[in-house]
Amino acid sequence: MLEQLFSLATIVGILHSGVRLATPYLFASLGETFVQRSGVLNLGVDGIMLMGAFTGFYVVFRGHPLWWGVLAALGVGILMGLLMAVVSVTMQAEQGISGIGLYLFGLGLSSLLFKTLIGSVEGVSGFPRLHIPGLSDLPVVGPIFFDHNVLVYLAYLMVPLTWFTINKTTFGLKVRAVGHNPEAADSLGVSVDGIRYLTLMVGGALAGVAGASLSIGLLNVFQENMTNGLGFIAVALVYFGSWRAVGVLAGALLFSMVNALQLWVQVLDIPIPSDLAVMLPYLLTILVLALTARQIHQPAALAKPYERGE
Amino acid sequence: MIRRPSLPLAQLIDLLLPVAAVALALLVGAGFLLGLGVSPLMAYGAMVKGALGNTSGITQTLTKATPLLLVGLGICIAFRGGVINIGGEGQIIVGALAATAFALAFPTWPRWLLLPATLLIGALTGMFWGGIAGWLKARMGVNEILSTVMLNQIALQIMNFLLRGPMLDPEQIAAGTNIPQSAALPQTVWLARLVPRTLFHSGAILALVLAGVVYVLLWRTTIGYRIRAVGLNPSASRYAGIPVPRYAVLALALSGALSGLAGAVEVTGVHHRMMEGISGGYGFSGIVAALFGKLHPLGTVPASVLFGALLVGADKMQRAVQVPSSLIVSLQGLVVLFVVASELYVRRRTRRRVGGGTPEPTPEAPPRSAASPSVTVLPQE
């Protein structure tokens, strides 16, 4: 049975799933990268994702176009990000705790809305696979990289976009300054609170889309707590990727590849306990964090509320 | 408890802030209910009646309050010590798993030995699980928020594996149903029921006693003083000669022990076997209860009863007026948000009183009175 795992078709299948499953991690983690680079820890990503997943699904379920679903998820994400900003930036709340509050709020509300507005698990037809002439027909490479729906491509496009925005734009410079030394940024006339509001909105928007990518892109259903803690992993991936877009990409792929492998192991009925396989990426994340935490410089003001001196 | 006579009004406001947060959350919830076309009065009425209206409701409330209190006490220790323990869920799970495995392994032991040993095993396993996060923080500099989240997932997978394989109830295998749960525990290890024909068990008394123990630990012992000192100001504590990393490990381990015990108590008191969903979100709800109790062990007691009542009431409301009980989860989230947001007010006032721009009192300052804790700014990494 094990040799089945090493056939070309299976390996292509695993890599295809891996590339695809990285989508929600990428959206959510890249959004959280903006947030953390500006010195805020938004632990409520999972709650935002659930709200985004529900909203996107509901819009499509009611017969509206798929893109409306994505936009609605994005909008809900922004609102949730704003809520976090009011509590954590304006009210300077302890961010680890307010994030838990945001998570519970999103978890409960998405489930409440699902049960009252939909009631049972229903499917929708989500984003279809996009056939790219030429590229999709390539052997091996085609099915792995160019046989996905548009949200998957968009997620990967966010990697260079995030890198560029953070490293090459004035906005990114301000984000980094605010996260590294808010006092200095403030004295140079950068609004610390303003930038943090913006990054929380960006992070919220992307977390919302990450949720929608699950409910109308990858799985095409909505279930209560369907993220199953994915949003918390997304937060950890930002640390894992040492606050850089490329690092986040590596972490997201690691998680999604192991998940894909685990799914295929189940499909092929190979007698390896899949629960233990699912555990691997979490163990690996702890290990990587343990080995790198001392060397990596996190944004100096991460998770510290900023209050102007008198 | 209020020993400092100054500013009684301010202290009253401190105590009322969490109450206001709950009131505000319920108000927002009323908005949701109106949006769903349900009369908030009817829904909340069904909640109160269901949770507190009769013996059955009250005992259910107290049964739910028990794990909340245990987890919440652990959260008090952790947050006071400046570490954020989000790993309650995982610690409950490993505690429950270990307790179950232990009781099933030694079913012939006499009750006086087996029951305490089982509870102890649960607590020790939770302690170990929390201690891992503490050790990772102290020795490797790993953020405990992340490690506890990861450890939650790992515990969950261990449970899934064990309940589908090694620990699966032989009766389930025989019947071919394969519902993931363990065999039933021997009756010798069941916690005594306090009210006949209800689930209300003596674990509640244990939790209540531990609330007193945690209070004494935090406010009457050197260890507790140091835990709080490290939480308030790690750098000043270091200068005062307190080994800060060791106390971070201790705070997380003790916190884990209480959550692990909660798992063991759920198994021996309520379910009498290990099953999926045993943690029941208590790992998060315990945080809410502890915050509502102002991170004070004695404040966490009524807070646990309140949130236990909300959980039970939500189920009753679901049946009476068909409003999903998940409403309460979102309201819990709002309570957390409102409570942590309102701390800004407490912090600003405390600072004015201390005078000038002194950001946080150092541990050399007189220990705060029990009634006016302001663990608002937890220490940075």
Residue B254 clears pLDDT 90, i.e. is over it? yes
Give me the percent of chain B exceeding a pLDDT of 90.
65
Q: Do B145 and A43 touch (CB under 8 A)?
A: yes
Under the banding of pLDDT at 50, 70 and 90, the label for residue A133 is confident
Q: Do B330 and A104 touch (CB under 8 A)?
A: yes
CATH code of A150's domain: 1.10.3470
Considering the domain boundaries, does residue A268 fall inside one? Answer: yes
One-letter identity of residue B258: L
Write out residues 244-273 of A within 8 Å (CB-CB) of B. Answer: 273
C-alpha distance from B55 to closest chain A C-alpha (Å):
28
pLDDT tens, A50-108? 999 999 999 999 999 999 999 999 999 999 999 999 999 999 988 888 999 999 999 99
Q: Do A92 and B344 touch (CB under 8 A)?
A: yes
C-alpha distance from A263 to closest chain B C-alpha (Å):
15
Q: Which domains, and CATH codes, for chain B?
A: 14-354 (1.10.3470)
Q: Do B86 and A100 touch (CB under 8 A)?
A: yes
Q: Which of A113, A104, A31, A112 lies closest to B337 in space, CA to CA?
A: A104
Residue of chain A nearest B145, judged by CA positions:
A96
DSSP class of A130: P
Q: Do B158 and A279 touch (CB under 8 A)?
A: yes
SS3 A210: helix
Residue B265 clears pLDDT 50, i.e. is over it? yes
One-letter identity of residue A109: L
- A224 touching B (Cβ < 8 Å): yes
Residues 6 or more apart whose CB falls under 8 angstroms from that of B252 comprise B78, B81, B83, B85, B130, B131, B133, B134, B137, B144
- A283 touching B (Cβ < 8 Å): yes
Residues B246 and B104 sit within 8 Å (Cβ to Cβ): no
- Residue B331: its chain A contacts at CB < 8 A? 108
pLDDT at B354: 53
- A104 touching B (Cβ < 8 Å): yes
Q: Do A298 and B377 touch (CB under 8 A)?
A: no
Considering the domain boundaries, does residue A33 fall inside one? Answer: yes
Residue B150 clears pLDDT 80, i.e. is over it? yes
Which of B333, B342, B347 comes nearest A102 by C-beta? Answer: B333
Residue B8 clears pLDDT 90, i.e. is over it? no
- A161 touching B (Cβ < 8 Å): no
Instruction: Tell me what the mean pLDDT of segment B353-374 comes to.
Output: 41
CA atoms within 13 A on the CB side of A300: 9
As a whole number, the mean pLDDT across chain B is 87
Which of A105, A111, A286 comes nearest B337 by C-beta? Answer: A105
- Residue B86: its chain A contacts at CB < 8 A? 43, 96, 100
pLDDT at B357: 42
C-alpha distance from B155 to closest chain A C-alpha (Å):
9
- Give whichever of A34-38, B229-233, B313-317 has the largest mean pLDDT: A34-38
- Residue B336: its chain A contacts at CB < 8 A? 97-98, 100-101, 104
- The CA-CA-CA angle for residues A219, A236, A88, to 5°, reads 100
| Helices (runs of H) and strands (runs of E) counted in chain A | 13, 0
pLDDT at B353: 57
Write out residues 83-102 of A within 8 Å (CB-CB) of B. Answer: 83, 86-87, 91-94, 96-98, 100-102
| Cβ neighbours, 10 Å, residue A229 | 17
- A109 touching B (Cβ < 8 Å): yes
Q: Do B326 and A108 touch (CB under 8 A)?
A: yes
Mutation target vs B (from A225, A255, A282, A288; most B CBs, 10 A cutoff): A282
Q: Do B164 and A275 touch (CB under 8 A)?
A: yes
- A80 touching B (Cβ < 8 Å): no
- Residue A303: its chain B contacts at CB < 8 A? 380-381
Q: Do A96 and B142 touch (CB under 8 A)?
A: no
Q: Do B142 and A43 touch (CB under 8 A)?
A: no
Q: Mind spelling out the 3-state secondary structure of chain B?
A: CCCCCCCHHHHHHHHHHHHHHHHHHHHHHHHHHHHCCCCHHHHHHHHHHHHHCCHHHHHHHHHHHHHHHHHHHHHHHHHHCCCCCCCHHHHHHHHHHHHHHHHHHCCCCCHHHHHHHHHHHHHHHHHHHHHHHHHHHHHHCCCHHHHHHHHHHHHHHHHHHHHHCCCCCHHHHHHCCCCCECCCCCHHHCCCECCCCCCCECHHHHHHHHHHHHHHHHHHCHHHHHHHHHHHCHHHHHHCCCCHHHHHHHHHHHHHHHHHHHHHHHHHHHHCCCECCCCCCHHHHHHHHHHHCCCCHHHHHHHHHHHHHHHHHHHHHHHHHCCCCHHHHHHHHHHHHHHHHHHHHHHHHHHHHHCCCCCCCCCCCCCCCCCCCCCCCCCCC
Under the banding of pLDDT at 50, 70 and 90, the label for residue B38 is confident
C-alpha distance from B156 to closest chain A C-alpha (Å):
9
Q: Which of B299, B266, B238 lies closest to B79 in space, CA to CA?
A: B299
Rounded to whole angstroms, the Cα distance separating A153 from A237 reads 20
C-alpha distance from B34 to closest chain A C-alpha (Å):
13
pLDDT at A5: 67
Instruction: Tell me what the mean pLDDT of segment A155-169 comes to.
Output: 97
Under the banding of pLDDT at 50, 70 and 90, the label for residue B367 is very low
Considering the domain boundaries, does residue A253 fall inside one? Answer: yes
One-letter identity of residue B137: K
Residues 6 or more apart whose CB falls under 8 angstroms from that of A180 comprise A39, A299, A300, A301
- Give whichever of A227-236, B122-131, B182-191, B308-317 has the largest mean pLDDT: B122-131
Size of interface A-B (CB pairs under 8 A): 167
Under the banding of pLDDT at 50, 70 and 90, the label for residue B165 is confident
Which of B164, B165, B340 comes nearest A101 by C-beta? Answer: B340
Q: Do A97 and B332 touch (CB under 8 A)?
A: no
Which of A235, A279, A286 comes nearest B147 by C-beta? Answer: A286
Rounded to whole angstroms, the Cα distance separating B237 from B222 reads 13
Which of A41, A92, A278 comes nearest B157 by C-beta? Answer: A278
Considering the domain boundaries, does residue A304 fall inside one? Answer: no
C-alpha distance from B330 to closest chain A C-alpha (Å):
4
Mutation target vs A (from B80, B86, B329; most A CBs, 10 A cutoff): B329
Rounded to whole angstroms, the Cα distance separating B285 from B304 reads 9
Considering the domain boundaries, does residue A174 fall inside one? Answer: yes
Residue of chain B nearest A303, judged by CA positions:
B380
- A82 touching B (Cβ < 8 Å): no
pLDDT at A260: 87
C-alpha distance from B18 to closest chain A C-alpha (Å):
14
Residue of chain B nearest A302, judged by CA positions:
B380
Residue A201 clears pLDDT 50, i.e. is over it? yes
Q: Do A87 and B340 touch (CB under 8 A)?
A: yes
One-letter identity of residue B152: N
pLDDT tens, A210-245? 999 999 999 999 999 999 889 999 999 998 888 999
Q: Do B154 and A86 touch (CB under 8 A)?
A: no
Rounded to whole angstroms, the Cα distance separating A104 from A28 reads 17
Q: Which of A235, A255, A231, A233 lies closest to A243 in space, CA to CA?
A: A235
Q: Which two tokens stand for residue B376?
A: 């608002």
One-letter identity of residue B71: V
Instruction: Tell me what the mean pLDDT of segment B139-147 comes to.
Output: 90
- Residue B180: its chain A contacts at CB < 8 A? none
Instruction: Tell me what the mean pLDDT of segment A185-208 comes to.
Output: 96
As a whole number, the mean pLDDT across chain A is 90
Residue B372 clears pLDDT 80, i.e. is over it? no
Considering the domain boundaries, does residue A79 fall inside one? Answer: yes
Give chain A's domain count: 1
Q: Do B336 and A298 touch (CB under 8 A)?
A: no
- Give whichever of A11-15, B8-12, B127-131 has the largest mean pLDDT: B127-131
Which region among A154-158, A164-168, A293-297 has the lowest average model confidence (pLDDT)? A293-297
Q: Do B141 and A293 touch (CB under 8 A)?
A: yes
Give me the percent of chain A exceeding a pLDDT of 90.
63
- Domain membership of residue A156 as a residue range: 2-121+136-292
C-alpha distance from B137 to closest chain A C-alpha (Å):
9
Rounded to whole angstroms, the Cα distance separating B249 from B230 reads 12
Q: Which helix (H) or strand (E) holds A156?
A: helix A150-168
